Copies of this chain bind each other. A is one copy, B any other.
Amino acid sequence: MTVGRGPKVRAAVLAATMLELADRGYADLTVDGVAQRAGVNKTTVYRRWRDRQSLVADAITDQIAAEVPIPDTGGIDGDLRAFARSLIRTLAGPTGQAIAGTMLAGAARIPEIAGIKQRFFEDRIRRAEPFIDRAVRRGELPAGIDPAELIKTLIAPIYLRLLVTAEPLDDFLADRATAITLAAARAGAIPGKRS
């Protein structure tokens, strides 16, 4: 392999993994299928990824990094709306549907899915921490509030629509989720960090 091919191979394999996930779902995804789709040898895949799980986890984490910018609108209201809108766009789009469908359909039956779901979720919370810290410093949120619990309050109504009520995933939903979350935070209904 020549110098400089590494990152291209990595990108091609991860893109192929997302397409296989969308077409087949996690249960039927194979390293063979991914390698064929990416136009590389199976051994090339196994040189970089230990197993199917770490490959899928890397592909999903990369996708999230590409799709979820860290908002900085100058206020917590705008930041939460932007964050909620970007989650909604991910979940409503074809890649997001593939990710969500794969994670949720498999969750009950395939134990290794749990790790991927956890990673997806933790990554999202990590991306929210900077703007929540800024809001605390500006006095817009109570000091010591747990960013993970704040973000869970924000995303709960979005996942309810996606998975339970099948109502539209639109910008009004982002605004509603933001209003609920800020009201709850200001009323002290969202717990602080355990320290």
Copies of this chain in the oligomer: 2
Map CB proximity to B onto A147-169 as digits: 1 under 8 Å, 0 otherwise.
00000110111011001111000
A107 interface hit (Cβ, 8 Å): yes
Q: Count A-side interface residues using an 8 Å CB cutoff.
A: 32
List of B residues within 8 angstroms of A155 by Cβ:
160, 164
Per DSSP, are chain A's interface residues mostly helix, strand or loop, or mixed? helix
- Assembled-state Cα–Cα distance A3/B179 (Å): 57
Using A184-B183, A189-B183 as known contacts, say yes or no to A160 and B165 having CB atoms under 8 A apart: no
Using A105-B105, A108-B101, A159-B159 as known contacts, say yes or no to A153 and B165 having CB atoms under 8 A apart: no
A187 interface hit (Cβ, 8 Å): yes
List of B residues within 8 angstroms of A24 by Cβ:
none
